[in-house]
Structure 1
Amino acid sequence: MRLDVNALGTFYRMAREGAGLAAGRLTKMTGVDTQVGVTKLNFMRGGEIRHEFDDDAEKVGIRVELTGGVDGHSVVVFDRESAFRIVEMLVAEPDIDEFDEMSRSAATEVGQVMNSGFIDGWADVLETVIDVSTPEFIEGETAAPFLDDIEETPDEGDLALLFQSQIEAVGTEISFDHYLFPKRESMAQLLERLRENDGIEYDKLEGFDRMAEQGAEEVAKTATTLTGIDTRVEIRRLNFVSLETIPEQVADEMLVGVAFEFDGTPSGYLLFLFDEDSAHEIVDAMVPTATGDGAGFDEMETSAITELGNIMASGFLDGWANVLDTTIDHSPPEFIHDYGAAAVDPVIIQLGENQEFAFVFDTVVTADGREFDCDVYAIPDEADLERALNDLDVGRIAETPTTATFQELEQT
């Protein structure tokens, strides 16, 4: 199976079109204004998909099976309270706390209308017909009731292409996600039809995903050594997204970051983002004598953050270069202290001059017992990435060590 940016771009537009139709139909049905949130094509391992469902939160899902232009399953998943709120809007019955026959039927109807919106959008973009089964109502707190009886779901370590969309109900506390689980053979046929060039072998992308995971682990090890805070890689996935949507994924709060431009095979941008509290925790751990008042970042605190970012970047990119048997250099660190999307806008503007979409390695590094949350955005140039992956020897990934060298900061 091979894929290229054009094919994935078509899939992305398909997902956005479907989300737009689903949002419009939900508004018409309930009278609640809606807007399309983040849409992603996620390359996720089976274990990560299940981890997303296994959060012990009560969920309600409406699932249909697809055949024809796309084979697989489409699932709209609500948190339980959101499902109750939507049912209350439809049946004018307040304070529902259990699903009886009527409320179950109402929730199923909403889920079916939304599934149909997504599917009609996909069919429009693909210029094909997609047949839909009778909807199933599912309840549960784990992945099992939603996924276990689907014939073809990815195993723990298998990398799967997953469509994920969010729609937000304006002014209400209604939240839900949409997932498309396409069958591999169906996806391969679509990719073949949509490709405009030779593209990338799918197993090369899977290899690059594993390589990025190694780089992320090196980031955590380096951060542990420098700060004394035991850190780990908690979540990591490879997303294919429109560049313009990346700022939508950034938290609406003051952020502290370190940005780099890297050059070689591949080239691109690397960004580490911390919330302010995490950044101050890091400074306290690295430079106990720092005298910042917590309101800003003085020269010593800025130096500590940029030095940590510099060393983590070296570990991340050196690992890539070792596996790709190439050289990747990065620019001096650029310190960022800005609000929300403004922290990533400069990177997006520069990339947007040459490409519409990007592969984004979205990694969260967390620390036990301390506030230390770090989002890592590694955004390679798409043309460079394709060349690098076509030359990638997947067998080198397990054999090649990821190494990083660093020096302790001088404390004064």
Structure 2
Amino acid sequence: MHNINDLNAAWIQSGQNYTDLQNKSQKMAVALAADPSTYTKDQVQKMQDELDAAKTARDFAKSQLDDAKAQAAASKPEPIANKQVTVTKPATAAEDFVHNFVDVATGKVNIRDLVTSGNTDGDTSNAGLTIPPDIQTNINQLKRQYASLEPYVSIENVTTPTGTRVYEPFETLTPLANLDDENAAIPDNDDPKLYNIKYTIHRYAGISTMPNTLLQDSAENIQAWIEQFVGRKDVVTRNGAILGVMNDAPKKPTIAKFDDILDMIYTAVDPAIVSTSVLMTNVSGFATLAKVKDAMGDYLIQANVVPDMPYSIRGHQVIVISDRWLPDAVDSKGAFVSHPLYYGDLAQAAKLFDRQQMSLVVTNIGAGAFEHDQTKLRVIDRFDVEATDKDAFVAGSFAAVADQQANFAAGSPASK
């Protein structure tokens, strides 16, 4: 019987395979929207079959993982009285990490006896169990199965707490000077004006209560629980920082009718990035847009070619994010104001600087854990999100979108 760690890895890998096929199918859908002859019916059907098979594999791996966890939770450890116990050193960094995690949580050792600091920035007040690379990789793969905005921005791994990057904005260039006079001096070109983007790594942290029964589980169970816990918290945290940059876009068009969306698609960003630009809204906003019609009675949003492929508007993919991760705007009383509608190339507009120094701290004494017989878990992540090109993205909004008015008279040849 495979252990839980193997099943967890299989679930993550099958989820990755399904995500990769989704990305491939989405590109196919966009290409088909622009030119229906790009792919044959057999190619589309083959892609759909591969998607179905990958989805089945992912769901099956998840069900097997859940069953294995349930069996592990139901099993009871053998009595160890009158038995000779041999203590062996954990074989891997992951097992060593879980071993230390349990020892600290149960108060067997002090965390300062294990590490000096999980932070090489000189801040020794935040010593913790630094998550090893193998668990970090599992967390990053698991995050892709949640509604994360991170895949849409540019990411750079950094090793310093601060830094500067040089960027070149899109500029409107002028022609070279026309020198009719042979003796005329050659003027300077209007060279692009470079600008600096400074990043400062911030610490994002939170404390959660961990069930003490978890500490009675196997190392595989504990590792899987930590990966899922950290993965979810990290997605929520990084989504918030990315949305903060997205909402700072200088252009905030208000959408009221069908043609306003077309104006945004064709004029809101530089033509150089139109081909890589996408639309992004939440589920509530998508439900509103899906009902909007053009002058011919056709829906604004173009339907999928096959299931699991993305919707699009004029060949641009429409990314739909859960309302939980991408909420509507509300007033001070919580009443609805508008849905979000972003457009542009987020990879050009924002960059996430990842310090890759995530760490955990556990205690069964502090933060009220002692009084309630609980264990507290604190996670710290270190990153920064900065705007790199504010003109590459616009933050639109809409409450309702009117249909496009018919531009032909009833009874005319165009209406027949």
Q: TM-score, normalised by structure 2?
A: 0.24
Q: TM-score, normalised by structure 1?
A: 0.24
